[in-house]
Structure 1
Amino acid sequence: MNFNLIKFNWWVFAAGLLYILPLILSSVDYTDDIGRSVSGYGWGIDGRFMSTLIMQMLSFNQWIAPISPYTQILAAVITCLTGIISVKAIYKKEECVYFLSLILLTSPFYLENLSYKFDSLSMALSILLSVFPLLFIGKSYFIPISVASLTLSLAMYQTSAMVYFSIVLCYFIYREPELSFSEFVKVSSSAFVSFLLSFLIYSSILKCVAGDVARSEFLSLDGVFINTILFRTHAYYDFYSYLLNSGYSLAFLPFAIVVIYSYFSNLIFGNESIIRRILLYPLFTLMMLVLTMLPNIVLEEPWYTARTMIAFPFLIFGLSVICVKHAHKLVVFTSIFILYIYGYSISAVYSNVLKDNDKYDDFITTSITEAIISNSESGTNNVIIIGRSEYPQKTRNLYQVYPILYKLAPLYSTQDWSWGVRNLSRYTSLNYVYDARKRQEAYANLCKNEIIKATSLYTLRKSNEYYLVDFNKTKC
């Protein structure tokens, strides 16, 4: 890859910056951003020590400084570059197919990754590193480059490793029907060995650097292993159903028709054996679908969030590779363009919802904080949330129209969620009560505590140890 390739595809970067513009303009601290802004902590507990190092270098300090929107802008640019590299790695010299480069950036699930003011840059870099080795596939140095890239990628965002396998599957799809069994075995084994070596190196470094690999441990092979796998797989039903019910089904329909046409075109007119024509495309597609869910299926500690769906756009990319092989490019690009339009639309809707939710949260936080400060002489107070705050009047209908917002823009002020208290800590120091037993006792004894403020939105009570924010407005 050379500079001329980037220069030729300048429009990809321009489109990428336009895509992230609503998110930049919203300027909302997203979940972890609030804590990192206050405490300046890194990602050591998550095993992402390279993410910490990168942000420390950019901050010129051990304290992680808020340097957004530059982090998010760079994340968008890097993701566009990753899209260009993905196309280059698969198609080599076919210039017209660079239209597919925006599939990665415009994935609805990827909006969460881009929302993080602190995390977005390292996440984007980790995806780039997962795709980069494919430029050297078939070369003698493919394995060492893969090992080095994947080790760095794992140290930035572990889930991105699924992207590596996804892009390898996209390569197999492109090579079909010329793909020989020996080439399949050689590339597959090289990719697996590369990942295994990189994971071992990463785990060894992690033990030395952090001493805690709990979030990188795999699910135990015990008596409930199969049931756990099935339960976790079913948990992804919500992700896909929420997305499809958010208008994505209409946007996806033309592309789905082209995919089906391409499959049957290969089935009818392909030259390879009938079994191969029937099985290979569906098998590769199923494998890429599994990769979108795999981290939370096999890891001991799952995180059911949209940001872990980082391999989803590569599923779409893989399907587009099938379509380009068997359908007219103009038809394929038109169906992809409709998905792009949806992506830009949901980006704007999502960004406005984040902004309006943040204004509402700030209104609630100010009200609660003023009451706590006026009733406390302590600089730090323990807070327990009961129930869940309501959705703002301005956005509640949008959640019904776009259910995917429940996954992308959740309400922070929710019972038993530490980020609810973190969200209330904008103007003063408030502590979340991590002891579940103490929280249960507080719920049970709620009515024994005096009310210090009652509104139509919440009731604030005070005990000897805690302030209790009751969004249920419990009647005693």
Structure 2
Amino acid sequence: MNILSRSFREFKVASWAFFHTQGFWKYFLIAFSLYGLGILSLIRADVYYIDDLNRAIIGYKEWENFSRYISWFLSTFMHMDSVLSDVSPLTQLVAIAFLSFASLILVWSMREVIWKNEDSNWESSELPYKKRLTTLGIIASIPLGLSPYFLEELSFKYDSPYMALSVLFSVIPFVFIHHIRAYIPVSILCSLGMCMTYQASSGIEVILVLFFAFLMFNQTNAGVKKAFTFIGVSALNYIIALSIFKFFIMHENSHSQASTAMLKGSDLLSGFLRNMDMYLNYLWSDFGLAGVKICVLALLGFFIISAMYQARINKILSLILAVAVLSIGICLSYGTYLVLEQPLTRPRAFIGIGLFVAALSVYVVSAWRGWAYKQKDQSRTNSTRYVSRPLPQRAFYILSAVIVGFCSWSMVVFANSYGNALSQQNEYQKFRLTVLLNDLVNATPRYADADNYLYRIKGWVTASPALENASKHYPIMKRLVTITDTKYWVRTAMKHYGWGEVPEEQLKTTPETEDFNALKEDPRCDPKTAGKRLKLIDNIYHRIEVYPHCALIEFKGKERYIHEYDQEIREEQEALEQEALEKEAQAQADLEQAAQKPESKK
């Protein structure tokens, strides 16, 4: 009982200190405004992103299938109904409110660690000024929620609040970083909260623990013992939380994009390295040599310089540790997905890297203490005399602010570019779908309806000219703007426009009449066995072959800018498919040859 009371007392002390920080709500509004500016074009685009269309026309939740129970529960209060309806942009505004709190926590905790028990980092005569929140710090934290990867989370009209909440859960424990009795239970509970909102945030706590331990050792008087104790306690908290989740809460699930199954013992190392290689390949090839990549690379270099500049330990050792933190942090930002058999590779799975960039940005500007300072011997007087800082210090601070400012600005610019590209692609898809439905109305037999007629779909709408242009130096743009699940989404969109009945609830399995793989083998949709072709429509947008019981739809168009890593994967898959076809043909030929031998003997 005594332990509980002490834990609660420390919880209150740390919470009070955080919420009573000077200018707390002012900086919250600054963060909220910056995030709002970033998603302005996204809100204006008003696009049903991937699952949003199904949720809009059916109203289902279906977050429990990946054990996201908090998301499932909170959605009832978010929409004030168990059947979900579209309440955007309210959901996205709630999401950026969560992100704003997360930004404040990141800045506050970073400066709390750096300045706790500070003694000789600065001039010995300087009067300490330990303001925890600053406008520059908030600007530096913007990559946390406006990284190109997290934009996919913010694109979801239904999922976005809970995805943002998972980020908030991941940073809350660091408010209590100097209050171990409160830190332990809060860390375990928040890790569980993250797991039950969106597991893609699983790398955030890991990289922040690594980062804060580095700060403790590099430039505070905490020392090696406290740094490693902090890592050990945090690791134990994390393992306890994930073990509780895995063995008592989570249920296994998988679909075409991802699976919850972990790598087996014999494949653990090779699978871990394979997943890491895939992750790093995407991180590098998602961006051309343009604003975001240039700014982040400059930030990485400046972090190393800043770490050495502010270090209280040997400069060479500080350099080695800074490089190690960058290397390990970037790799581990993928979180627990590194140990999954089939990890999600969509941009929304790469949440951790945005937080890591934000942490680096906040760090390099956290040494900012103003142009001048008061001396301690003036602290008891009303003197207004200040001592100017040396020119090298001022130049260093200006450069840090410029680099961080450009980094955050590049995120805001990219976010608005993405929102506009998404809007243009959505309009283009609607146009293509309208043309398709118009041709289908005039081409299919009068007796054709959703119950007795099949539609086999091949391909999908290619990128609009606006999206192609936006993808020249940002290959990730196409990964983000791929807002549909192609053939399955087409059927949903057709129902949305009245071409078939909308189900009362989300179907657990895809009906065979809409299953692309099943339709490939259905004799009614095979030109060789489908019967007489009734009509052919072949134009610049699509090709439609109409048969008595099935229509074959093939979308036309070519992509100019294809993601480098996706192209490699596509070529590998095509090679495997070709190899399988050749083996199948060879096996068929062998069977025919074997059948002919007995006949020749007769």
TM-score under structure 2 normalisation?
Answer: 0.70
Shift of 1:324: 3.8
Q: Against the structure 1 CA distance between its residues 134 and 404, is the aligned structure 2 distance closer, same or farther, given a 3 Å change threshold?
A: same
- CA distance in structure 2 between the aligned counterparts of 1:443 and 1:132, rounded to whole angstroms: 57
Superposed displacement of residue 53, structure 1: 1.2
Instruction: Give me the whole-angstrom Cα distance separating, in 2, the residues matched to 1:392 and 1:435.
Output: 25
Shift of 1:253: 4.8
Query: What's 2:76 paired with?
Result: 56
C-alpha separation between the residues in 1 aligned to 2:547 and 2:271? 40
Please state if 1:340 is matched with 2:357.
Answer: no
Q: 6, 24, 27: which one pairs with 1:6?
A: 24
User: Which amino acid is 2:488 matched to?
Assistant: S
2:170 and 2:190 in contact (8 A); partners too: yes
How far the C-alpha of 1:382 sits from its partner, in A, is 4.5
Q: Which one of 424, 436, 449 corresponds to residue 368 of structure 1?
A: 436
For the residue of structure 2 that corresponds to 1:243, the secondary structure is coil
Residue of 464, 476, 479 corresponding to 1:392: 464
Instruction: Tell me which moved more, 399-408 or 120-129.
Output: 399-408
Unaligned residue ranges in structure 2 (runs of 5+): 1-17, 113-130, 368-392, 502-510, 558-602
Report if aligned partners of 2:49, 2:484 keep a CA contact under 8 Å in 1. no
1:233-254 superposed Cα distances (whole Å, 9 cap, x missing partner): 2323133222244542333354
Give the counterpart of 1:434 among 512, 515, 535: 515
Alignment partner of 1:21 out of 40, 44, 51: 40
Question: Which of the numbers 67, 70, 73 marks the counterpart of 1:47?
Answer: 67
Equivalents in 1 of 2:24, 2:312: separation in Å?
A: 36
Secondary structure in structure 2 of the residue aligned to 1:62? coil
Change (3 A) 1:89 1:467: farther
* Among 81, 95, 112, the residue aligned to 2:101: 81
Residues 366 and 333 of structure 1: is their aligned pair in 2 closer, same or farther, counting only changes over 3 Å? same
Give the Cα separation in 2 of the matches to 1:5 and 1:429: 56
Distance 1:280 1:420, change over 3 A: farther
The match for 1:240 is 284
Secondary structure of the corresponding residue to residue 68 of structure 1: coil
Deviations 1:339-397 (A, max 9, x none): 12211211121111111111111112223234445535424565432133222234322
What code does the residue aligned with 1:191 have?
S
- Shift of the alpha carbon at 1:25? 0.5
- The more displaced of 35-44 and 197-206 is 197-206
Q: Distance in 2 between the 1:389 and 1:292 partners?
A: 33
The structural deviation recorded for 1:41 is 1.9
The structure 1 residue matched to 2:449, chosen from 374, 378, 389, is 378
Measured against aligned partners, the alpha-carbon deviations of 1:124-154 in whole angstroms (never above 9, x if no partner) come to: 1111011001111232121111111111221
Please give the alpha-carbon distance, in whole angstroms, between the structure 1 residues aligned to 2:278 and 2:524: 28
- Paired residues for 1:428-467 under 5 Å: 428-429=499-500, 433-434=514-515, 436=517, 438-439=519-520, 445-446=526-527, 450=533, 451-463=535-547, 466-467=550-551
Which position in structure 2 is the counterpart of 1:95?
A: 133
2:252 aligned with 1:182, yes or no?
no
Counterpart mapping for 1:278-293 below 5 A: 278-293=319-334
**Cα distance in 2 between the residues matched to 1:352 and 1:336:** 25
Q: Which moved more, 1:417-426 or 1:4-13?
A: 417-426
Partner letter of residue 273 of structure 2?
Answer: L
- Give the match's secondary structure for 1:216: coil
* In 1: Cα distance, 2:227 partner to 2:362 partner: 17
Quick one: which of 521, 533, 552 aligns to 1:468? 552
Q: Deviations over 1:217-274 (max 9, x none)?
A: 322223x4444333332323133222244542333354344234335546xxx45256
CA contact (8 A) 1:170 1:317 kept: no
Q: Answer whether contact 1:166 1:291 (CA < 8 A) is retained.
A: yes
Q: Which residue of 2 aligns with 1:354?
A: 422
Q: Which moved more, 1:439-448 or 1:425-434?
A: 439-448
What's 2:56 paired with?
Answer: 37
**1:148 and 1:259, CA in 2 relative to 1: closer, same or farther beyond 3 A?**
closer
Residue aligned with 1:469, SS: strand
SS at match of 2:472: helix
Letter in 2 for 1:418: Y
CA distance in 2, matches of 1:95, 1:13: 14
Q: 2:260 is matched with which residue?
A: 216
Larger Rg belongs to = 2
1:50-78 CA distance string (max 9 Å, x none): 11111122222221222111001111121
Aligned-residue sequence identity (percent) comes to 20
Are the aligned partners of 2:107 and 2:138 in contact in 1 as well (CA < 8 Å)? Answer: yes
Separation (CA, whole Å) in 1 of partners of 2:288 and 2:195: 30
Instruction: Please give the TM-score of this superposition, normalised by the length of structure 1.
Output: 0.87
8 Å contact 1:80–1:104 — kept in the other structure?
no
Secondary structure in 1 matching 2:163: helix
Aligned to 2:92: 72
Shift of 1:429: 3.6
Return closer, same or farther for 1:336/1:423 CA change in 2, 3 Å cut-off.
Answer: farther
Question: Retained in 2: the 8 A contact 1:288–1:314?
Answer: no
Which moves more between the two structures, 239-248 or 99-108?
239-248
Match of 2:273 in 1: 230
Aligned twin of 2:582: none
Q: Following TM superposition, by how much is the alpha carbon of 1:18 offset from its aligned partner in structure 2, in angstroms?
A: 1.5
**Which whole-Å CA distance do the structure 2 matches of 1:295 and 1:248 have between them?**
26
Cα distance, 1:330 vs structure 2: 2.7
Deviates more, 1:360-369 or 1:460-469: 460-469
Note closer, same or farther for the CA distance 1:297–1:212 as it changes in structure 2 (3 Å cut). closer
Write the distance in 1 (CA, Å) between the matches of 2:140 and 2:363. Answer: 12
Q: Work out whether residues 184 and 233 of structure 2, in 8 Å CA contact, stay in contact via their aligned partners in 1.
A: yes
Would the alpha carbon gap of residues 99 and 248 (structure 1) be closer, same or farther in structure 2, given more than 3 Å must change?
Answer: closer
Partners of 1:16 and 1:412 lie apart in 2 by 25
Pick closer, same or farther for the CA change 1:263–1:130 going to 2, 3 Å: closer
More off after superposition, 337-346 vs 374-383: 374-383
Q: How many residues align?
A: 464
Structure 1: runs of 5+ lacking an equivalent = none
Structure 1 residue 445, shift from structure 2 partner: 3.3
SS at structure 2 position matched to 1:461 = strand
Describe the shift of the 1:447–1:243 C-alpha distance in structure 2 as closer, same or farther (beyond 3 A): farther
| CA shift in 2, pair 1:148/1:169, >3 Å | same
Match for residue 137 of structure 1? 177
Tell me which of 418, 427, 434 is aligned to 2:488. Answer: 418
Question: What root-mean-square deviation, in Å, do the aligned CA atoms of Structure 1 and Structure 2 show?
Answer: 2.9
Flag the 1:393–1:95 CA change in 2: closer, same or farther, 3 A. Answer: closer
